[in-house]
Chains A and B, each alone.
Chain A
Amino acid sequence: MNVNYMLSFIIVLALCLLSYLGGEAPGLRYLFGIAIPYLAIVIFIFGFISRVMGWARSAVPFRIPTTCGQQKSLPWIKPNRIDNPFSKSAVILRMILEIVCFRSLFRNTRMAFKNTKTGMRIAYDWEIFLWVAALAFHYTFLVVLLRHLRFFFDPVPFCIQILEFFDGFLKIEFLSNVIQVGLPGIYISGVILLAAVTFLFLRRIFSPKVRYISLPADFFPLFLIMGIAITGIMMRYFTKVDIVGIKEFTMGLVSFSPALPEGVGGLFYVHIFLVSVLLAYFPSSKLMHLGGIFLSPTRNMTADTRATRHVNPWNHPVKVHTYEQYEDEFREKMIEAGLPVEKKE
């Protein structure tokens, strides 16, 4: 039994129970439905900003990109413009690929020499699952997030309708016919999100090296997101929560005239509470890699350090051993060896 993930699991479970009870107990609904979400948003916004500002306040004394390809040097040698970016635009491209495609993570895929019966054989061993799962996770999370914007806009913006259309376009038709007539079309994003989170969790359990390095802080957000996804899916497909009521509630939240929804049940409170916890937890956790990646000096700087000078804001003077001191110490020997000196004495 691994104390790291059990601890996180128990905490998330306790949070679920707490909020479920909170949602069922009329006296606490105001707290769980309105006060905590507002508080979480405030913590998130201020926390996020102050964290990014904290990083931004630290100086960037040296330009230290990790160069992952041929430099730009002689005109007839083809430089790798993206992995050894010489210009700002190339850096932007590198960052886009990094942020949108997780390019460095993709490098984990590699060619391998497999030991088979017929001897050594070259095989392209795609250690690709981490990359695929990470992409699936982040993109479906984004889609789910965007979809939820429909609760905060009236009328629902066209682009969100389009997104829903394509997300729902992939709905699993037979389910709605076989299992339950009238089941709303399943958004594929929710399903993939849950699957990807589960994969990332299992990887932390079963991959020995990853398990060894994992902290409770690595499991906690995974369980939180799992909880959010599960409660969301439950409400949408199984308990059939009153969407109209929820929209009235969320619109109330954004228009700063909050009113508690009627008859939405404890599950909704669990959902919204876990989201609140995630938001509040976000700024003080590793999830801040969302902001940090933009500031990573090994990726976001140009690799033209020899062509344009980088200025260090705190370039402290240092004590040096000057040529004069050096010559003073070795003058005789230098003269004897026929080396030119400044002072002939």
Chain B
Amino acid sequence: MADDLPKADDLLNKIDHNNSPPTSWMDTPVNIRKGMYCYASSPKSVKYLGLPNARPWNPLDDDWKLPDNWKEIVFEGLKERLDKFRSFKVFMDICVRCGACADKCHFFIGTGDPKNMPVLRAELLRSVYRNDFTKAGNLLGKIAGARPMTLDVLKEWWYYFFQCTECRRCSVFCPYGIDTAEITIMAREILNLLGLNIDWIATPVANCYRTGNHLGIQPHAFKDMLDFFVEDIEEITGVNCEPQYNKKGADILFITPSGDVFADPGTYTAMGYLLLFQYLKEKYGFDVTWSTYGSEGGNFGFFTSHETMKRLNSKMYAEAKRLGVKWILGGECGHMWRVINQYMDTMNGPADFLEEPVSPITGTRFENAKSTKMVHIAEFTADLIKHNKLELDPVRNDNVIATFHDSCNPARGMGMLDEPRFVLQNVCNNFHEMPPGTIREQTFCCGSGSGLNAGENMELRMAGGLPRANAVKYVHEKYGVNMLTCVCAIDRAVFPPLMEYWVPEVDVSGLHELVGNALIMQGEKKRTTDLRFEPLPGMEDEIDE
């Protein structure tokens, strides 16, 4: 019987041939696997935005219903972008394939798929670029690393450029600063020319265009949701917050991702904002307004094309101008801040109708935002705390042992690293950093950014989030960390399942949720629960009375 055993190997090999070693990456055809891809864009959304080739299609079908001249469209699309973006052109030419980026991508680490190495992801596009735009590639073909555009190549593009979260971690390690995010952005633009978006991006974009936010919440419902929080807050603290909406002549316009208004645990962060604004209003006469037209900080247009990003982003300045505010305050969100920090002023500025941001409470001039005129709420709150303008009781967060996740875009597209940490450490007594190499500019992505936070690609998300979860697990085991705090709405939406899968004992919160817990409001009643209606430390008994 024992002699039969070696045959088990054969048996096992027969079960699955998928993993036979690939000859070379160019010859390894793409295998679109369930659980790894997001559903195709719905024609309704594509049409609403006036983007090309709106039609129903299925990535698993052979026929993707492309226009007849799709190759020409791709060629022209590449050509146009090579002229319009020096980044793209330079990054197409100068990679030496040193391999420094290869193992830096969370998707490669988690899925083990070699085509998820950043260099190879870029080569998927570069190979076509070489074929179409360089003499060597045209003459020598494969020897020069070139290959012609085919339907298989296109499918490979679609599959792998929607397996990149544009997190820029590889770019940190590249000796030439080659940024795969930039290459993915271009590839997605070109795919969009053929109507090849994913629905998790296309529909939020269409929603946002129409209603002002990704979820398609109509103005009255947006107000209803915040009123709902006001009720909860009153129940918890006894304080009645009075948020203002679309108020002309307010000092400051506040814009946050709509996820904070709708999805737990982001909603608790929104409650934190409400408490902070109420506190500042009562104590210092702070005058801030929310907007239903500009009710989305996030910008899934960024994951579609530069043009779509600009269309959605335009609402921020337009609304600020209409309301006549002095400057704009922005909530906790990741890619929203990449857009604001590196694109907004260029695209939709100059914002000469706004004033240079000055904190009305501390008098601090936010000189780093003097042109864009938009300040991050972590910068704003850090400044308040530094000037002792907030009464805080961090003991109320004593049941929280926190660690901080640097979201990719604030880290690598902005550099906001110490402000949120300063706030966190002032509102929470227990804080432990994750290991170096997994935080700050080297932070690992949540695995679901850039519009990949859909439900159908759950395997991709779990695999891509593994490196992050693994570092959380380490601090959980070592220090008993039970709260992953972050400043990004996508993080707050995607970390709960990620944690449940890999480190079930760790919960997820926004920064200002913890601020809201610690903030001592004027005239508040004795708090027995936190913003989640969970008992505060030492208050477990009082609730049961």
Q: Do A and B touch directly, given a CB cutoff of 8 Å in the complex?
A: yes
Chain B residues positioned under 8 Å from A292 (CB to CB):
90, 93-94, 176
In this complex, what residue of B is CB-closest to A72?
B368
Within 8 A of B (CB), among A315-344: 315-316, 318-323, 326-327, 329-330, 333-334, 336-340
A129-161 CB mask vs B (1 if < 8 Å, else 0) is 010001000000000000000000000000000
B155-178 CB mask vs A (1 if < 8 Å, else 0) is 000000000000010011111111
Chain B residues positioned under 8 Å from A303 (CB to CB):
415
Contact between B175 and A98, CB atoms less than 8 A apart:
yes
Within 8 A of A (CB), among B294-335: 306-307, 310-311, 314-315, 318-319, 322
Contact between B346 and A340, CB atoms less than 8 A apart:
no
Given known contacts A74-B379, A292-B90, A297-B86, A307 and B368 CB-to-CB distance under 8 angstroms: yes
Chain B residues positioned under 8 Å from A209 (CB to CB):
99, 102-103, 114, 117
| Interface check B511, CB cutoff 8 A | no
Chain B residues positioned under 8 Å from A68 (CB to CB):
172, 412, 415, 441
In the complex, A295→B94 CA distance in Å?
10
Chain B residues positioned under 8 Å from A312 (CB to CB):
346-347
Given known contacts A58-B89, A284-B135, A308 and B371 CB-to-CB distance under 8 angstroms: yes
Given known contacts A299-B177, A326-B293, A71 and B87 CB-to-CB distance under 8 angstroms: no
Chain A residues positioned under 8 Å from B134 (CB to CB):
284
Number of interface residues of B (CB under 8 A): 107
From B196-204, B337-345, B520-528, the one touching the partner chain is B337-345
Chain B residues positioned under 8 Å from A113 (CB to CB):
435
From A15-23, A77-85, A265-273, the one touching the partner chain is A77-85
| Interface check B97, CB cutoff 8 A | yes
Contact between B85 and A58, CB atoms less than 8 A apart:
yes
Contact between A320 and B314, CB atoms less than 8 A apart:
yes
Q: Do most interface residues of chain A lie in helix, strand or loop, or is the interface mixed?
A: loop
In the complex, A51→B93 CA distance in Å?
10
Chain A residues positioned under 8 Å from B172 (CB to CB):
66, 68, 104, 107
Contact between A207 and B374, CB atoms less than 8 A apart:
no
**A172–chain B nearest beta-carbon distance, Å:** 30
| Interface check B538, CB cutoff 8 A | no
In the complex, A86→B370 CA distance in Å?
13
**A101–chain B nearest beta-carbon distance, Å:** 10
Number of interface residues of A (CB under 8 A): 93
From B234-242, B266-274, B416-424, the one touching the partner chain is B416-424
From B37-45, B243-251, B425-433, B529-537, the one touching the partner chain is B243-251
Chain A residues positioned under 8 Å from B212 (CB to CB):
326
Contact between A63 and B437, CB atoms less than 8 A apart:
no
Contact between A298 and B177, CB atoms less than 8 A apart:
yes
Chain B residues positioned under 8 Å from A77 (CB to CB):
382, 418-419, 422
Contact between B120 and A213, CB atoms less than 8 A apart:
yes
CB < 8 Å neighbour of B90 from A297, A311, A314: A297
Contact between B93 and A286, CB atoms less than 8 A apart:
yes
Contact between A70 and B220, CB atoms less than 8 A apart:
no
| Interface check B224, CB cutoff 8 A | yes
Chain A residues positioned under 8 Å from B50 (CB to CB):
319
From A24-32, A177-185, A190-198, A215-223, the one touching the partner chain is A215-223
Contact between A340 and B248, CB atoms less than 8 A apart:
yes
Contact between B84 and A70, CB atoms less than 8 A apart:
no
Contact between A67 and B441, CB atoms less than 8 A apart:
yes
In this complex, what residue of B is CB-closest to A287?
B96
| Interface check A244, CB cutoff 8 A | no
CB < 8 Å neighbour of A130 from B86, B98, B349, B372: B98
Within 8 A of B (CB), among A276-304: 284-286, 288-289, 292-293, 295-299, 303-304
In the complex, A247→B338 CA distance in Å?
57
CB < 8 Å neighbour of A323 from B85, B209, B245, B318: B318
Contact between A321 and B210, CB atoms less than 8 A apart:
yes
Within 8 A of A (CB), among B72-89: 82-89
CB < 8 Å neighbour of B143 from A134, A216, A289: A216
In the complex, A25→B103 CA distance in Å?
51
Contact between B123 and A334, CB atoms less than 8 A apart:
no
| Interface check B191, CB cutoff 8 A | no
Given known contacts A58-B82, A73-B419, A333 and B218 CB-to-CB distance under 8 angstroms: yes
Given known contacts A77-B422, A318-B314, A215 and B371 CB-to-CB distance under 8 angstroms: no
**A68–chain B nearest beta-carbon distance, Å:** 4
In the complex, A18→B136 CA distance in Å?
22
| Interface check B182, CB cutoff 8 A | yes
Chain B residues positioned under 8 Å from A333 (CB to CB):
218-220
| Interface check A128, CB cutoff 8 A | no
Contact between B94 and A293, CB atoms less than 8 A apart:
yes
Most buried by B among A296, A306, A323: A306
Contact between A296 and B218, CB atoms less than 8 A apart:
no
Given known contacts A7-B143, A72-B368, A297 and B87 CB-to-CB distance under 8 angstroms: yes
Contact between B120 and A295, CB atoms less than 8 A apart:
no
| Interface check B475, CB cutoff 8 A | no
Chain B residues positioned under 8 Å from A70 (CB to CB):
415-418
Contact between B176 and A293, CB atoms less than 8 A apart:
yes
Contact between A71 and B415, CB atoms less than 8 A apart:
yes
Chain B residues positioned under 8 Å from A306 (CB to CB):
340-341, 345, 368-372, 374
Given known contacts A212-B114, A214-B97, A64 and B86 CB-to-CB distance under 8 angstroms: no
| Interface check B71, CB cutoff 8 A | no
Contact between A334 and B416, CB atoms less than 8 A apart:
no
Chain A residues positioned under 8 Å from B135 (CB to CB):
284
| Interface check A123, CB cutoff 8 A | no
| Interface check B364, CB cutoff 8 A | yes
In the complex, A326→B219 CA distance in Å?
10
A1-43 CB mask vs B (1 if < 8 Å, else 0) is 0000001000000000000000000000000000000000000
| Interface check B144, CB cutoff 8 A | yes
A residues contacting B by CB (< 8 A) are: 7, 51, 54-64, 66-74, 76-80, 83-84, 86, 98, 102, 104-105, 107-108, 110-111, 113, 130, 134, 207, 209-210, 212-218, 284-286, 288-289, 292-293, 295-299, 303-312, 314-316, 318-323, 326-327, 329-330, 333-334, 336-340
Excluding A51-B93, A71-B415, A212-B25, 15 further A-B contacts by CB distance (< 8 Å) are A58-B83, A58-B84, A67-B413, A73-B368, A73-B419, A105-B173, A113-B435, A130-B100, A209-B99, A216-B145, A286-B95, A304-B368, A308-B371, A326-B293, A327-B293
In the complex, the 9 A-B pairs of residues with the closest C-beta atoms, listed nearest first? A71-B415, A292-B94, A337-B220, A67-B415, A298-B177, A299-B177, A210-B99, A215-B145, A58-B86
List 14 contacting pairs A-B, 8 Å CB cutoff, sorted by A.
A64-B179, A73-B379, A104-B177, A105-B173, A110-B437, A111-B436, A210-B97, A210-B98, A218-B97, A288-B93, A292-B93, A293-B94, A296-B87, A322-B318
